[in-house]
Amino acid sequence: MRIERDSLGTLRLPEDVYYGIQTERARQNFPVSGLRLPRRFIRAQGIVKLASARANRSLGMLDGRLFRAIERACREVIEGRHDEEFVVDVYQAGAGTSQNMNANEVIANRAIEILGGRKGDYSIVHPNDHVNMAQSTNDTIPTSLYISATEAVREELIPALRGLLKAVEDKSREFREIVKSGRTHLQDAVPITLGQEFSGYAASLRNDITRIENALRSLIYLPIGGNATGTGINAHPRFRQMVIREIREITGIGFKGSKNLFEGIQNVYPALEMSASLRAVAITLTKIANDLRLMSSGPRTGLAEITLPAVQPGSSIMPGKVNPVMAEMLNMVCYQVIGNDTTISCAMQASQLELNVMMPVIAYNLLMSIQILTNGVNTFTKRCIEGIKANVRRCREFADATIAIATALNPIIGYGAAAEVAKEAMRSGRDVRDVVVEKGILSRKEADRLLDPKRLTGSKNPR
Protein backbone atom coordinates (compact mmCIF):
# COMPACT_ATOMS: atom_id res chain seq x y z
CA MET A 1 0.00 0.00 0.00
CA ARG A 2 0.99 3.64 -0.39
CA ILE A 3 -0.33 6.74 1.34
CA GLU A 4 -1.37 9.81 -0.65
CA ARG A 5 -2.50 13.21 0.58
CA ASP A 6 -4.90 15.80 -0.83
CA SER A 7 -6.64 18.89 0.57
CA LEU A 8 -9.03 16.68 2.58
CA GLY A 9 -6.41 14.48 4.21
CA THR A 10 -4.77 11.12 3.48
CA LEU A 11 -5.81 7.75 2.05
CA ARG A 12 -4.14 4.39 1.58
CA LEU A 13 -4.07 3.01 -1.99
CA PRO A 14 -2.73 -0.24 -3.43
CA GLU A 15 0.88 0.29 -4.47
CA ASP A 16 0.35 -1.04 -7.98
CA VAL A 17 -2.50 1.23 -9.15
CA TYR A 18 -1.77 4.29 -11.29
CA TYR A 19 -4.80 6.27 -10.17
CA GLY A 20 -4.44 8.42 -7.09
CA ILE A 21 -6.21 9.74 -4.03
CA GLN A 22 -8.87 11.85 -5.76
CA THR A 23 -9.83 8.94 -7.99
CA GLU A 24 -9.94 6.65 -4.96
CA ARG A 25 -12.26 9.06 -3.15
CA ALA A 26 -14.57 9.03 -6.19
CA ARG A 27 -14.39 5.25 -6.37
CA GLN A 28 -15.53 5.05 -2.77
CA ASN A 29 -18.09 7.85 -3.07
CA PHE A 30 -19.91 6.60 -6.18
CA PRO A 31 -20.46 2.81 -6.07
CA VAL A 32 -23.59 3.31 -8.18
CA SER A 33 -23.71 1.28 -11.37
CA GLY A 34 -20.39 -0.33 -12.19
CA LEU A 35 -20.62 1.47 -15.55
CA ARG A 36 -17.57 3.31 -16.86
CA LEU A 37 -17.08 5.80 -19.66
CA PRO A 38 -15.98 3.79 -22.71
CA ARG A 39 -12.61 3.23 -24.35
CA ARG A 40 -13.17 5.96 -26.92
CA PHE A 41 -13.68 8.57 -24.21
CA ILE A 42 -10.55 7.48 -22.35
CA ARG A 43 -8.61 7.64 -25.62
CA ALA A 44 -9.92 11.17 -26.17
CA GLN A 45 -8.84 12.17 -22.66
CA GLY A 46 -5.35 10.96 -23.52
CA ILE A 47 -5.44 13.03 -26.72
CA VAL A 48 -6.46 16.17 -24.81
CA LYS A 49 -3.75 15.68 -22.19
CA LEU A 50 -1.10 14.98 -24.85
CA ALA A 51 -2.10 18.01 -26.91
CA SER A 52 -2.08 20.19 -23.79
CA ALA A 53 1.37 18.97 -22.76
CA ARG A 54 2.73 19.65 -26.24
CA ALA A 55 1.23 23.14 -26.27
CA ASN A 56 2.60 23.95 -22.83
CA ARG A 57 6.02 22.63 -23.80
CA SER A 58 6.07 24.72 -26.99
CA LEU A 59 5.08 27.79 -24.96
CA GLY A 60 7.92 27.19 -22.47
CA MET A 61 5.54 26.38 -19.63
CA LEU A 62 6.53 22.72 -19.14
CA ASP A 63 10.03 21.38 -18.54
CA GLY A 64 11.35 19.17 -21.36
CA ARG A 65 12.16 16.22 -19.11
CA LEU A 66 8.70 16.25 -17.53
CA PHE A 67 7.10 16.73 -20.92
CA ARG A 68 8.74 13.65 -22.39
CA ALA A 69 7.55 11.47 -19.52
CA ILE A 70 4.01 12.90 -19.68
CA GLU A 71 3.95 12.51 -23.44
CA ARG A 72 4.87 8.83 -23.18
CA ALA A 73 2.24 8.24 -20.49
CA CYS A 74 -0.41 10.01 -22.59
CA ARG A 75 0.43 7.86 -25.59
CA GLU A 76 -0.04 4.74 -23.48
CA VAL A 77 -3.47 6.00 -22.40
CA ILE A 78 -4.40 6.72 -26.02
CA GLU A 79 -3.32 3.19 -26.97
CA GLY A 80 -5.50 1.66 -24.26
CA ARG A 81 -2.73 0.30 -22.07
CA HIS A 82 -4.21 1.67 -18.85
CA ASP A 83 -7.96 1.37 -19.39
CA GLU A 84 -8.38 -0.71 -16.24
CA GLU A 85 -7.10 2.27 -14.23
CA PHE A 86 -10.12 4.39 -15.18
CA VAL A 87 -12.40 3.29 -12.37
CA VAL A 88 -14.84 6.14 -11.75
CA ASP A 89 -18.54 5.34 -12.12
CA VAL A 90 -20.53 7.14 -14.82
CA TYR A 91 -22.76 8.58 -12.06
CA GLN A 92 -20.10 10.67 -10.38
CA ALA A 93 -19.24 14.20 -9.32
CA GLY A 94 -20.83 16.83 -11.54
CA ALA A 95 -19.10 17.99 -14.73
CA GLY A 96 -16.72 15.02 -14.60
CA THR A 97 -14.15 16.38 -12.14
CA SER A 98 -13.46 12.85 -10.90
CA GLN A 99 -13.06 11.59 -14.48
CA ASN A 100 -10.64 14.38 -15.29
CA MET A 101 -8.62 13.71 -12.15
CA ASN A 102 -8.62 10.01 -12.92
CA ALA A 103 -6.82 10.81 -16.18
CA ASN A 104 -4.51 13.35 -14.53
CA GLU A 105 -3.47 10.90 -11.82
CA VAL A 106 -2.95 7.93 -14.10
CA ILE A 107 -0.79 9.98 -16.44
CA ALA A 108 1.11 11.63 -13.57
CA ASN A 109 1.89 8.36 -11.78
CA ARG A 110 2.94 6.64 -14.99
CA ALA A 111 5.18 9.62 -15.82
CA ILE A 112 6.66 9.46 -12.32
CA GLU A 113 7.42 5.78 -12.88
CA ILE A 114 9.02 6.53 -16.25
CA LEU A 115 11.26 9.08 -14.53
CA GLY A 116 12.33 6.48 -11.96
CA GLY A 117 10.19 7.66 -9.05
CA ARG A 118 7.56 5.91 -6.96
CA LYS A 119 3.86 6.27 -7.63
CA GLY A 120 2.32 8.97 -5.48
CA ASP A 121 5.46 11.11 -5.31
CA TYR A 122 3.86 14.16 -6.87
CA SER A 123 6.92 16.28 -6.20
CA ILE A 124 8.19 14.74 -9.45
CA VAL A 125 5.08 15.05 -11.65
CA HIS A 126 1.92 16.59 -10.23
CA PRO A 127 -1.54 15.66 -11.58
CA ASN A 128 -2.88 19.21 -11.25
CA ASP A 129 0.18 21.39 -11.75
CA HIS A 130 1.71 19.50 -14.67
CA VAL A 131 -0.76 17.12 -16.36
CA ASN A 132 -3.74 19.48 -15.91
CA MET A 133 -1.73 22.62 -16.66
CA ALA A 134 -3.83 25.37 -18.33
CA GLN A 135 -6.92 23.11 -18.22
CA SER A 136 -10.06 22.52 -16.21
CA THR A 137 -12.58 19.71 -15.98
CA ASN A 138 -15.01 22.18 -17.49
CA ASP A 139 -13.21 22.43 -20.82
CA THR A 140 -11.44 19.05 -21.03
CA ILE A 141 -14.53 16.85 -20.48
CA PRO A 142 -16.67 18.38 -23.26
CA THR A 143 -13.61 18.45 -25.50
CA SER A 144 -13.02 14.76 -24.85
CA LEU A 145 -16.68 14.08 -25.54
CA TYR A 146 -16.62 15.88 -28.88
CA ILE A 147 -13.41 14.19 -29.98
CA SER A 148 -14.62 10.71 -29.02
CA ALA A 149 -18.06 11.17 -30.56
CA THR A 150 -16.60 12.60 -33.77
CA GLU A 151 -14.16 9.72 -34.18
CA ALA A 152 -16.82 7.11 -33.41
CA VAL A 153 -19.35 8.58 -35.84
CA ARG A 154 -16.83 9.09 -38.65
CA GLU A 155 -15.03 5.78 -38.29
CA GLU A 156 -17.86 3.45 -37.29
CA LEU A 157 -21.44 4.70 -37.45
CA ILE A 158 -21.48 6.42 -40.83
CA PRO A 159 -19.74 3.46 -42.54
CA ALA A 160 -22.29 1.12 -40.92
CA LEU A 161 -25.21 3.22 -42.15
CA ARG A 162 -23.72 3.47 -45.63
CA GLY A 163 -23.37 -0.30 -45.67
CA LEU A 164 -27.03 -0.65 -44.76
CA LEU A 165 -28.00 1.93 -47.38
CA LYS A 166 -26.16 0.01 -50.08
CA ALA A 167 -27.82 -3.26 -49.08
CA VAL A 168 -31.27 -1.64 -49.16
CA GLU A 169 -30.54 -0.03 -52.54
CA ASP A 170 -29.44 -3.41 -53.87
CA LYS A 171 -32.74 -4.94 -52.74
CA SER A 172 -34.66 -2.05 -54.27
CA ARG A 173 -33.11 -2.85 -57.65
CA GLU A 174 -33.59 -6.59 -57.18
CA PHE A 175 -37.29 -6.14 -56.39
CA ARG A 176 -38.07 -3.44 -58.97
CA GLU A 177 -40.37 -5.67 -61.08
CA ILE A 178 -42.25 -7.27 -58.18
CA VAL A 179 -45.74 -5.75 -57.92
CA LYS A 180 -47.66 -5.83 -54.65
CA SER A 181 -50.51 -4.01 -52.96
CA GLY A 182 -49.62 -0.82 -51.19
CA ARG A 183 -51.12 -0.31 -47.73
CA THR A 184 -52.12 2.85 -45.89
CA HIS A 185 -53.67 2.73 -42.42
CA LEU A 186 -52.84 -1.01 -42.72
CA GLN A 187 -55.65 -1.22 -45.30
CA ASP A 188 -55.44 -2.02 -49.02
CA ALA A 189 -54.09 0.81 -51.17
CA VAL A 190 -53.07 1.19 -54.81
CA PRO A 191 -50.31 -1.09 -56.14
CA ILE A 192 -46.62 -0.36 -55.80
CA THR A 193 -43.54 -2.45 -56.46
CA LEU A 194 -41.55 -3.99 -53.66
CA GLY A 195 -38.58 -2.15 -55.14
CA GLN A 196 -40.36 1.18 -54.78
CA GLU A 197 -41.11 0.38 -51.17
CA PHE A 198 -37.43 -0.33 -50.50
CA SER A 199 -36.43 2.83 -52.37
CA GLY A 200 -38.36 4.76 -49.72
CA TYR A 201 -36.29 3.09 -47.01
CA ALA A 202 -33.11 3.97 -48.90
CA ALA A 203 -34.08 7.63 -49.24
CA SER A 204 -34.85 7.84 -45.52
CA LEU A 205 -31.47 6.39 -44.63
CA ARG A 206 -29.74 8.77 -47.03
CA ASN A 207 -31.44 11.70 -45.33
CA ASP A 208 -30.44 10.39 -41.91
CA ILE A 209 -26.80 10.18 -42.94
CA THR A 210 -26.99 13.79 -44.10
CA ARG A 211 -28.45 14.84 -40.75
CA ILE A 212 -25.63 13.08 -38.90
CA GLU A 213 -23.01 14.69 -41.12
CA ASN A 214 -24.56 18.09 -40.40
CA ALA A 215 -24.45 17.39 -36.66
CA LEU A 216 -20.77 16.44 -36.99
CA ARG A 217 -20.03 20.00 -38.07
CA SER A 218 -21.02 21.32 -34.65
CA LEU A 219 -18.80 18.79 -32.84
CA ILE A 220 -15.62 20.21 -34.38
CA TYR A 221 -15.82 23.32 -32.17
CA LEU A 222 -13.92 22.50 -28.98
CA PRO A 223 -14.11 24.60 -25.78
CA ILE A 224 -10.57 23.66 -24.73
CA GLY A 225 -8.66 26.73 -23.57
CA GLY A 226 -11.68 28.20 -21.83
CA ASN A 227 -10.55 26.61 -18.58
CA ALA A 228 -12.99 26.95 -15.65
CA THR A 229 -15.55 29.44 -16.95
CA GLY A 230 -14.38 30.50 -20.41
CA THR A 231 -11.88 33.17 -19.40
CA GLY A 232 -8.81 30.98 -19.97
CA ILE A 233 -7.47 31.75 -16.50
CA ASN A 234 -3.97 30.38 -15.77
CA ALA A 235 -3.41 29.51 -19.43
CA HIS A 236 -0.81 31.12 -21.69
CA PRO A 237 -2.52 33.58 -24.06
CA ARG A 238 -1.53 31.37 -27.00
CA PHE A 239 -2.44 28.07 -25.30
CA ARG A 240 -5.89 27.84 -26.88
CA GLN A 241 -4.54 28.25 -30.39
CA MET A 242 -1.67 25.85 -29.80
CA VAL A 243 -3.69 23.06 -28.16
CA ILE A 244 -6.29 23.05 -30.95
CA ARG A 245 -3.47 22.77 -33.48
CA GLU A 246 -2.01 19.80 -31.58
CA ILE A 247 -5.42 18.06 -31.38
CA ARG A 248 -5.79 18.44 -35.15
CA GLU A 249 -2.31 16.98 -35.61
CA ILE A 250 -3.00 13.97 -33.37
CA THR A 251 -6.47 13.14 -34.71
CA GLY A 252 -6.19 14.21 -38.33
CA ILE A 253 -9.58 15.93 -37.95
CA GLY A 254 -10.12 19.65 -38.57
CA PHE A 255 -11.17 20.63 -35.07
CA LYS A 256 -11.53 24.33 -34.25
CA GLY A 257 -11.95 26.36 -31.11
CA SER A 258 -15.41 27.26 -29.85
CA LYS A 259 -16.58 30.56 -31.31
CA ASN A 260 -17.51 31.71 -27.80
CA LEU A 261 -15.79 29.90 -24.93
CA PHE A 262 -18.37 31.02 -22.38
CA GLU A 263 -21.17 29.45 -24.39
CA GLY A 264 -18.98 26.42 -25.12
CA ILE A 265 -18.66 25.68 -21.40
CA GLN A 266 -22.15 26.74 -20.32
CA ASN A 267 -23.73 24.27 -22.75
CA VAL A 268 -22.90 21.11 -24.66
CA TYR A 269 -25.36 21.67 -27.47
CA PRO A 270 -23.26 19.82 -30.08
CA ALA A 271 -23.87 16.63 -28.09
CA LEU A 272 -27.60 17.35 -28.04
CA GLU A 273 -27.58 17.98 -31.79
CA MET A 274 -25.79 14.72 -32.48
CA SER A 275 -28.11 12.82 -30.15
CA ALA A 276 -31.13 14.26 -31.96
CA SER A 277 -29.77 13.04 -35.29
CA LEU A 278 -29.27 9.58 -33.78
CA ARG A 279 -32.85 9.63 -32.53
CA ALA A 280 -33.96 10.34 -36.10
CA VAL A 281 -31.95 7.34 -37.32
CA ALA A 282 -33.55 5.20 -34.62
CA ILE A 283 -37.03 6.24 -35.74
CA THR A 284 -36.22 5.43 -39.38
CA LEU A 285 -34.76 2.05 -38.44
CA THR A 286 -37.77 1.27 -36.25
CA LYS A 287 -40.05 1.91 -39.24
CA ILE A 288 -37.98 -0.36 -41.48
CA ALA A 289 -37.75 -3.12 -38.88
CA ASN A 290 -41.48 -2.99 -38.19
CA ASP A 291 -42.32 -3.10 -41.91
CA LEU A 292 -40.11 -6.13 -42.42
CA ARG A 293 -41.76 -7.89 -39.51
CA LEU A 294 -45.18 -7.22 -41.02
CA MET A 295 -44.25 -8.17 -44.57
CA SER A 296 -42.58 -11.38 -43.43
CA SER A 297 -45.43 -12.39 -41.09
CA GLY A 298 -46.66 -15.91 -41.61
CA PRO A 299 -45.47 -18.06 -43.22
CA ARG A 300 -49.04 -19.26 -43.85
CA THR A 301 -51.32 -16.98 -41.88
CA GLY A 302 -49.70 -13.58 -42.38
CA LEU A 303 -48.66 -11.35 -45.29
CA ALA A 304 -45.67 -13.52 -46.23
CA GLU A 305 -44.61 -11.12 -49.00
CA ILE A 306 -40.96 -11.58 -48.10
CA THR A 307 -38.87 -14.15 -46.30
CA LEU A 308 -36.19 -13.07 -43.84
CA PRO A 309 -33.08 -15.20 -43.30
CA ALA A 310 -33.59 -17.91 -40.70
CA VAL A 311 -30.79 -17.36 -38.19
CA GLN A 312 -32.04 -19.32 -35.17
CA PRO A 313 -35.03 -21.34 -33.93
CA GLY A 314 -37.85 -19.06 -32.87
CA SER A 315 -39.58 -20.93 -30.09
CA SER A 316 -38.74 -23.08 -27.10
CA ILE A 317 -42.03 -24.97 -27.50
CA MET A 318 -43.27 -24.63 -31.12
CA PRO A 319 -41.13 -26.78 -33.45
CA GLY A 320 -40.10 -25.23 -36.74
CA LYS A 321 -41.02 -21.69 -35.77
CA VAL A 322 -38.68 -18.97 -37.04
CA ASN A 323 -38.97 -15.38 -35.79
CA PRO A 324 -37.75 -12.04 -37.26
CA VAL A 325 -35.13 -11.79 -34.54
CA MET A 326 -32.81 -9.36 -36.32
CA ALA A 327 -35.62 -6.85 -36.77
CA GLU A 328 -36.62 -7.36 -33.14
CA MET A 329 -33.03 -6.76 -32.01
CA LEU A 330 -32.87 -3.57 -34.05
CA ASN A 331 -36.13 -2.35 -32.52
CA MET A 332 -34.67 -2.78 -29.03
CA VAL A 333 -31.51 -0.91 -30.01
CA CYS A 334 -33.61 1.93 -31.40
CA TYR A 335 -35.76 2.19 -28.28
CA GLN A 336 -32.60 2.41 -26.16
CA VAL A 337 -31.22 5.18 -28.39
CA ILE A 338 -34.47 7.13 -28.06
CA GLY A 339 -34.29 6.68 -24.28
CA ASN A 340 -30.67 7.84 -24.27
CA ASP A 341 -31.69 10.94 -26.18
CA THR A 342 -34.31 11.68 -23.56
CA THR A 343 -31.65 11.39 -20.84
CA ILE A 344 -29.34 13.72 -22.77
CA SER A 345 -32.16 16.23 -23.31
CA CYS A 346 -32.97 16.26 -19.60
CA ALA A 347 -29.30 16.56 -18.65
CA MET A 348 -28.89 19.46 -21.06
CA GLN A 349 -31.58 21.33 -19.15
CA ALA A 350 -29.36 21.15 -16.07
CA SER A 351 -27.01 23.83 -17.42
CA GLN A 352 -26.79 26.54 -14.76
CA LEU A 353 -24.93 29.81 -15.00
CA GLU A 354 -21.39 29.05 -16.27
CA LEU A 355 -21.52 25.25 -16.53
CA ASN A 356 -23.46 22.12 -17.38
CA VAL A 357 -22.58 19.68 -14.59
CA MET A 358 -24.24 16.60 -16.14
CA MET A 359 -21.55 15.95 -18.74
CA PRO A 360 -20.57 12.42 -17.64
CA VAL A 361 -24.08 11.02 -18.18
CA ILE A 362 -24.38 12.96 -21.45
CA ALA A 363 -21.09 11.48 -22.65
CA TYR A 364 -22.01 7.95 -21.60
CA ASN A 365 -25.40 7.98 -23.28
CA LEU A 366 -24.22 9.61 -26.50
CA LEU A 367 -21.29 7.24 -26.94
CA MET A 368 -23.50 4.27 -26.03
CA SER A 369 -26.02 5.29 -28.70
CA ILE A 370 -23.28 5.52 -31.33
CA GLN A 371 -21.88 2.14 -30.37
CA ILE A 372 -25.11 0.16 -30.23
CA LEU A 373 -26.41 1.73 -33.43
CA THR A 374 -23.16 0.85 -35.18
CA ASN A 375 -23.19 -2.76 -33.99
CA GLY A 376 -26.94 -3.18 -34.44
CA VAL A 377 -26.92 -1.80 -37.97
CA ASN A 378 -23.92 -3.89 -39.04
CA THR A 379 -25.58 -7.06 -37.74
CA PHE A 380 -28.98 -6.19 -39.22
CA THR A 381 -27.42 -5.53 -42.63
CA LYS A 382 -25.46 -8.76 -42.78
CA ARG A 383 -27.91 -11.13 -41.10
CA CYS A 384 -31.19 -9.72 -42.35
CA ILE A 385 -31.25 -7.24 -45.24
CA GLU A 386 -28.73 -8.98 -47.47
CA GLY A 387 -30.63 -12.27 -47.27
CA ILE A 388 -34.21 -11.07 -47.83
CA LYS A 389 -36.13 -13.01 -50.49
CA ALA A 390 -39.34 -11.89 -52.16
CA ASN A 391 -42.41 -14.12 -52.47
CA VAL A 392 -43.29 -13.07 -56.03
CA ARG A 393 -46.49 -15.11 -56.28
CA ARG A 394 -47.86 -13.83 -52.98
CA CYS A 395 -47.08 -10.21 -53.89
CA ARG A 396 -48.83 -10.57 -57.24
CA GLU A 397 -51.91 -12.10 -55.61
CA PHE A 398 -52.23 -9.09 -53.32
CA ALA A 399 -51.66 -6.68 -56.22
CA ASP A 400 -54.49 -8.28 -58.19
CA ALA A 401 -56.79 -8.51 -55.19
CA THR A 402 -56.59 -4.97 -53.83
CA ILE A 403 -59.91 -3.14 -54.06
CA ALA A 404 -58.01 0.14 -54.19
CA ILE A 405 -57.23 -0.57 -57.82
CA ALA A 406 -60.62 1.09 -58.46
CA THR A 407 -58.79 4.39 -57.88
CA ALA A 408 -57.70 4.23 -61.52
CA LEU A 409 -61.38 4.56 -62.54
CA ASN A 410 -61.71 8.06 -61.01
CA PRO A 411 -60.72 9.95 -64.20
CA ILE A 412 -63.06 7.77 -66.28
CA ILE A 413 -66.27 7.47 -64.28
CA GLY A 414 -65.70 9.71 -61.26
CA TYR A 415 -65.01 9.00 -57.59
CA GLY A 416 -68.62 8.16 -56.67
CA ALA A 417 -69.16 5.59 -59.42
CA ALA A 418 -65.70 4.11 -58.79
CA ALA A 419 -66.64 3.72 -55.11
CA GLU A 420 -69.74 1.74 -56.13
CA VAL A 421 -67.56 -0.55 -58.25
CA ALA A 422 -65.24 -1.08 -55.27
CA LYS A 423 -68.15 -1.89 -52.95
CA GLU A 424 -69.60 -4.33 -55.47
CA ALA A 425 -66.25 -6.08 -55.77
CA MET A 426 -66.09 -6.30 -51.97
CA ARG A 427 -69.65 -7.67 -51.67
CA SER A 428 -69.22 -10.25 -54.41
CA GLY A 429 -65.63 -11.21 -53.71
CA ARG A 430 -64.77 -10.60 -57.36
CA ASP A 431 -61.91 -8.73 -59.00
CA VAL A 432 -62.52 -5.03 -59.78
CA ARG A 433 -61.73 -5.71 -63.43
CA ASP A 434 -64.47 -8.33 -63.65
CA VAL A 435 -66.99 -5.92 -62.14
CA VAL A 436 -66.26 -3.06 -64.57
CA VAL A 437 -66.46 -5.45 -67.55
CA GLU A 438 -69.75 -6.94 -66.31
CA LYS A 439 -71.22 -3.44 -65.85
CA GLY A 440 -70.11 -2.45 -69.33
CA ILE A 441 -67.90 0.34 -68.05
CA LEU A 442 -64.85 -1.05 -69.84
CA SER A 443 -64.15 -3.80 -72.32
CA ARG A 444 -62.06 -6.73 -71.18
CA LYS A 445 -59.11 -5.40 -73.16
CA GLU A 446 -59.50 -1.89 -71.71
CA ALA A 447 -59.90 -3.23 -68.18
CA ASP A 448 -56.80 -5.39 -68.46
CA ARG A 449 -54.81 -2.43 -69.72
CA LEU A 450 -56.12 0.37 -67.52
CA LEU A 451 -56.30 -1.69 -64.33
CA ASP A 452 -53.05 -3.58 -64.75
CA PRO A 453 -51.32 -3.31 -61.32
CA LYS A 454 -47.88 -3.02 -62.90
CA ARG A 455 -49.01 -0.09 -65.04
CA LEU A 456 -50.48 1.64 -62.00
CA THR A 457 -47.14 1.61 -60.19
CA GLY A 458 -45.59 3.82 -62.84
CA SER A 459 -42.80 1.20 -63.08
CA LYS A 460 -40.32 3.64 -61.58
CA ASN A 461 -37.76 2.95 -58.89
CA PRO A 462 -36.72 6.41 -57.69
CA ARG A 463 -33.50 6.91 -55.72
Q: Residue count of the chain, please give it.
A: 463
pLDDT (mean) for 168-174? 98
Q: Record the pTM.
A: 0.95
On the question of pLDDT at 450 being above 70, the answer is yes
Q: What is the pLDDT of residues 274-330, one digit of tens each?
A: 999 999 999 999 999 999 999 999 999 999 999 999 999 999 999 999 999 999 999
pLDDT (mean) for 16-35? 98
pLDDT (mean) for 414-430? 95
pLDDT given for residue 284 in this prediction: 98
On the question of pLDDT at 182 being above 80, the answer is yes
Residue 399 — pLDDT band, cuts 50, 70, 90? very high
In the chain, which residues fall in CATH 1.10.40.30? Answer: 402-456
pLDDT (mean) for 245-270? 97
On the question of pLDDT at 190 being above 80, the answer is yes
pLDDT (mean) for 239-245? 98
Percentage of residues in the chain having pLDDT higher than 70: 99
On the question of pLDDT at 462 being above 70, the answer is no
Residue 366 — pLDDT band, cuts 50, 70, 90? very high
pLDDT (mean) for 89-110? 97
pLDDT given for residue 460 in this prediction: 60
Candidate list 315, 428, 443, 459, residue with the active-site label? 315
- Respond yes or no: is residue 315 known to be catalytic: yes
In the chain, which residues fall in CATH 1.10.275.10? Answer: 2-133
On the question of pLDDT at 352 being above 90, the answer is yes
Give the C-alpha distances (Å, rounded to integers) separating 276 from 209, 216, 338, 454: 12, 12, 9, 39
CATH number for region 144-176+194-222+260-392: 1.20.200.10
The CATH superfamily label for domain 402-456 reads Fumarase/aspartase (C-terminal domain) (1.10.40.30)
In the chain, which residues fall in CATH 1.20.200.10? Answer: 144-176+194-222+260-392
On the question of pLDDT at 90 being above 90, the answer is yes
The mean pLDDT value of the chain amounts to: 97
Greater pLDDT, 462 or 356: 356
pLDDT given for residue 461 in this prediction: 55
Q: What is the pLDDT of residues 136-158, one digit of tens each?
A: 999 999 999 999 999 999 999 99
CATH number for region 2-133: 1.10.275.10
Greater pLDDT, 350 or 208: 208
On the question of pLDDT at 43 being above 70, the answer is yes
Q: What is the pLDDT of residues 336-348, one digit of tens each?
A: 999 999 999 999 9
Residue 439 — pLDDT band, cuts 50, 70, 90? very high
pLDDT (mean) for 373-388? 98
Residue 118 — pLDDT band, cuts 50, 70, 90? very high
